[in-house]
Structure 1
Amino acid sequence: MFATLVNTLGNGAYLATSALFLTRSVGLTPGQVAAGLSLAALAGIVLTTPMGAVADRRGPKQVQIVALLVLAACFAGLTQVHHLWSYAVVASVIAVANATVKASTGAMIAGAVPPAERVRTRAFIRSTNNAGLGLGTALGAVPLLLDSRAGYLAVLLANTATFLVAAAVVGRADAVDRVARPAGVSRLAVLRDRPFVAFVLVDGLVASLYNALLSLALPLFLLAYTHAPAYLVSAALLVNTIGCVTLQVWISRGTHTAVDAVPVSRRGALLVGASCVLFGLTAGRSARLVGALVLAAAVVHVIGELWLSAGTFAVVFDLAPDWAQGQYQGALQTGRQLGDMVAPPLLTALVIGLGEPGWLALASIFAGAGLVYPSIVRWALRRRPALVETPPLVAA
């Protein structure tokens, strides 16, 4: 967890400054930045699941260390980026390596932690991740105020150092034994696991939507449909950060298996849907009422988000065979990457294009996900014996 905290401090500072660094210091246009990020997203979608399979074969600890060192090299390399294509290449490697770190982290937890403690451990890491990102974002305000190339380069080099520190910390952790793969089973068996693929596609869309609600949909909507002050967005994000840091472990208690995750995920999806209704009610209201509704919706949203996260942790750990934890974790990240491509245009079209009815449409998407989660998980549980009882074994 210390490695996560150090690493996310640097990532938070970079995320806060990256847009201005790329446009004001490197000289890229906003369109070129978007194009580079799109190419990076495509690379992540194609390569993340295979990299998870590599973590299964080579060991998640070793793969995570290599990925962290690659990230250190990439962020140092960003200091030499001067045009679109060099940025696109570096951004693509960063996207794949970041997802590989997440997949290998999940595989390390699965290999080193007893099943009953995996979700709790993953919840601790998510809390630490949010704390580091929050602090890093705050630290990023300094170079933003300076608005100089030297300040932006300092952030990049500091982030490079955090990856090196994280790699050193992970290197001191106990190695996770590789688990042999059953004979006759595809090296990318997760892609043949149709219920799990269905789960990660739904989860990817839902997670991307709830992650972007406060940072994208809410500010756009408040600007277009209310006269409320812009600081309400910061207040909502602060509520979310505090909730994620302080409540994730507590809310995850009692959620250990995919069966446990069914009611938890349903409640979470319905709660996030309810927050969408509250956000939609702000249209045309007084500033004071808008403030109350936004804060109430932010509280409802973060509780729903935490329940959804806990449910996802339990489903992935429980459904993945021991010999394929890396590739299942990688498939989860691929679903998130696909969701990240769909969520921004969908949110913009609904919230800005439709206004209050758009929020109701979003609420229906979350409600629908809450209703379909149980069916997908039960389908996966019915199919699971075919994956976990396939002898004999071969080297992974």
Structure 2
Amino acid sequence: MLLPPRGNARILIGAHFVNTLGNGAYLTTSTLFLTRSIGLSPAEVALGLAIAAGAGMALSTPMGYVADRYGPKRVMLGLLILQAVCFAGLIGVRGLWSFAPIAGLIAVGESGAKAANGAMIAAAVEPAQRLRVRAFLRSANNAGIGLGALIGSIPLMLDTRSAYAVMLLANSVTFLLAAAVLTRVRLDKPVAARPAEQPRLVALRDRPFLSFALVDGLVAALYNELLTLGLPLWLTVHTGGPLWLVSAALLINTTGCVLLQVWASGGTDGLASAARTGRRGALIIAVACVLFGASTGMPTWAVCVGVLAAACVHVLGELFSSTATWAVIFGMAPDWAQGQYQGAYLTGRQIGNMVTPPLLTALVVGGGGPGWLVVGVLFAVAGTAYPSLVRWGERTRAEPVTA
């Protein structure tokens, strides 16, 4: 099936695709807009984004709780409007201390929207369809980001403040359009009430889930950074391979995620099968790391063949790993706390995003081929840990999480 099912599922995916078009354009142009148009130094950009990331990480679980408490649709609409206002407000930024608060609001809105979106999927579609809809969502995300990046090349070529301003306003419009589309989602079931004996932020007291979030957050951050950070650094320092291999590997990855994510989600229908899928995905990515490392010191043609083969293997493992992530989050979260569990997982993912760049740089640049093997071992260890973590979580699902 090339399209998601009619009704809520198709509305959710359509809204997400519209929004990611603008996000892709902004991501492509953001660095040059902030430095060349606003005049921030690279250090100021990094500091502002670090402050924003901290705010997003600290508030992701509380924002998920708000989505559970007041309804994911209502919260999602509010956060989309907030982000529309903030992106338009970037036009008026004149320095670090006007940039940092807006960037912080954008980060909080983004992390809150991700948590609310997961809760919306849980509330808007039947449990048996959640993974499939989530897979369609990721396909739409990759397609939207890719097309948005092409659109973002226009203001990059013009490189004028007016072009960047138009891009920011267009991105704001996509948030408003996405909100308009989401108003059509029908949530027939009332928001599930929190049982009186359960703590408000139950996800933060769920040790099996938090352990999974930390392990899987590192795995997800690593497989995302392999192609955008590890590969270009390794090509530059340790091989004579051409840098166009980075673009080719990213093209393979994007195409695979758009075309095959729904296929990869098939057959995963519970926590036990999610654990097996996660283990399979991590071990496949470990094989990709071995292929990357084996090309060190090889002739240029061999480096090209090795990188392209590794990219094909990598995307297959990524598809299975992402499927397992969604299945475990949906499966471990009670219906009344889907939002905060999505937010708690995002915290683990954000921790992985902080740890991964220095770790990957040290291993790939400092270690070369053997460094790639160490990265592969990390994936293999994480993959073998998945079943134990999930079984731990399954045992505690029947037990109340108390203070």
Contact 2:57 2:111 in 1 (8 A): no
What's the CA shift string for 1:160-190, capped at 9, x where partnerless? 0000000111112113521010112111000
Task: Output the amino acid matched with 1:355.
Answer: G
* Alignment TM-score, normalising by the size of structure 1: 0.96
Cα deviation, residue 387, structure 1: 3.7
Stretches (4+) displaced over 2 A: none
2:366 match: 353
Give 1:380's match in structure 2, choosing from 376, 379, 393.
393
Cα deviation, residue 220, structure 1: 0.9
Give 1:322's match in structure 2, choosing from 330, 335, 351.
335
What's the CA shift string for 1:83-106, capped at 9, x where partnerless? 112111111111111111111111
Note if 1:129 corresponds to 2:141: yes
Partners of 1:334 and 1:170 lie apart in 2 by: 25
Contact 1:257 1:318 in 2 (8 A): yes
Partners of 1:201 and 1:142 lie apart in 2 by: 39
Structure 1 residues 1-396: aligned runs within 5 Å:
1-175=13-187, 177-387=190-400
Higher mean C-alpha deviation, range 23-32 or range 193-202: 23-32
Partners of 2:360 and 2:98 lie apart in 1 by: 30
Task: Output the amino acid matched with 1:105.
Answer: N
Contact 1:115 1:256 in 2 (8 A): no
Partners of 2:30 and 2:241 lie apart in 1 by: 28
Partners of 2:193 and 2:178 lie apart in 1 by: 28
Cα deviation, residue 217, structure 1: 0.8
What's the CA shift string for 1:66-117, capped at 9, x where partnerless? 0000000110011111111211111111111111111111111111211111
Partners of 2:190 and 2:103 lie apart in 1 by: 32
2:10 match: none
What's the CA shift string for 1:109-149, capped at 9, x where partnerless? 11121111110110000110111001111111111111111
Aligned length: 389
Higher mean C-alpha deviation, range 343-352 or range 4-13: 343-352
Cα deviation, residue 357, structure 1: 1.5
Identity of matched residues, %:
59
Partners of 2:49 and 2:358 lie apart in 1 by: 15
Partners of 2:54 and 2:279 lie apart in 1 by: 30
What's the CA shift string for 1:203-242, capped at 9, x where partnerless? 1111011011101110111011111111110000000000
Matched residue SS, 2:280: helix
Structure 2 gaps, min length 5: 1-12
Higher mean C-alpha deviation, range 361-370 or range 172-181: 172-181
Higher mean C-alpha deviation, range 168-177 or range 115-124: 168-177
Task: Output the amino acid matched with 1:98.
Answer: E
1:394 match: none
Partners of 1:301 and 1:111 lie apart in 2 by: 32
Higher mean C-alpha deviation, range 275-284 or range 169-178: 169-178
Task: Output the amino acid matched with 1:285.
Answer: M
Partners of 2:156 and 2:280 lie apart in 1 by: 39
Contact 2:76 2:116 in 1 (8 A): yes
Contact 2:64 2:112 in 1 (8 A): yes
Partners of 1:279 and 1:94 lie apart in 2 by: 36
Partners of 1:358 and 1:35 lie apart in 2 by: 30
Cα deviation, residue 338, structure 1: 1.2
Matched residue SS, 2:398: helix
Partners of 2:100 and 2:156 lie apart in 1 by: 23
Matched residue SS, 1:386: coil
Task: Output the amino acid matched with 1:184.
Answer: E
Partners of 1:65 and 1:107 lie apart in 2 by: 13
Task: Output the amino acid matched with 1:284.
Answer: G
Matched residue SS, 1:177: coil
Cα deviation, residue 282, structure 1: 2.0
Task: Output the amino acid matched with 2:388.
Answer: S
Partners of 2:271 and 2:99 lie apart in 1 by: 40
Contact 1:117 1:256 in 2 (8 A): no
Matched residue SS, 1:140: helix
Partners of 2:250 and 2:25 lie apart in 1 by: 16
Partners of 2:254 and 2:191 lie apart in 1 by: 36
Task: Output the amino acid matched with 1:12.
Answer: G
